Structures are given as C-alpha cells and as structure tokens.
Amino acid sequence: MDERPFWFHPDASAEVLVAHDRYGEVTFKLAERFQDELERSRQTITRGPQVWPEYLYGTQRYLLKGFPYFIVYRAVPDRIEIIAVAHERQRPGYWADRTVS
C-alpha cells in the first residue's frame, strides 16, 4: 500500500467545507455521508494513486460515489496533492492555477 500522506490545497479544503455545509443544510446525515465518502475516497486513492484516469494539467481524477463531486489530485514522490474537490458542473480546469508548484 502506498503510504504517502495527503496534502490539500487550501482552496480544495475550502471546497470540502462549502460542500459539507451545503449538505448539512439538507440533513446532518447527508453531510455525514459526504464526509464518509471523502474518507473512503482517500483510502481508495492511497491504495493505488496511479489507477485512476489522467485528467487535465498532469492530474488525475477520482469520482465520488453518490455525490456529484470529484477529487482532482496528483501523486508526487512524497505525497498525494489534492488540487480540487470539484462539483461536476463547474468549469473544467478552473483550478489549473493551483497546479503550479
């Protein structure tokens, strides 16, 4: 198993909070399910970061199950960088400036 830690771009962290809060406005359980799916996704990506399809600007994409969001990430030698947690209706690549290191 790949044990690289996750690093969240600050804007990706903000996206998680906004989505979680929106689901929380519907029901606490829905927000909890969203959080659980994010954790399951983290574990899945960690097990095989190169398995998921290439996306844009040297990133890869993992679709969340049961929610209209996907995780944009890139695996680098010392960590897995979460670039965005994007809603499927957002403009593709809106997060491109976050990939510059």
Residue in 19, 61, 15 with CA at minimum distance from that of residue 41? 61
Q: What pLDDT shows up at residue 100?
A: 79
Give the pLDDT of residue 4: 85
Domains in the chain with CATH codes: 6-98 (3.30.2310.20)
Nearest-angstrom CA–CA distance, 92 and 53: 15
| Mean pLDDT in consecutive groups of 10 residues from the start of the chain, 101 residues | 83 97 96 97 92 94 98 95 96 91 61
pTM over 0.85: yes
Cα–Cα distance for residue pair 11/27, rounded to 1 Å: 24
Backbone angles phi, psi at 7, to 5 degrees: -125, 125
DSSP code of 53?
A: P
Per-residue model confidence (pLDDT) at position 45: 94
Span between the terminal Cα atoms of the chain, in Å? 26
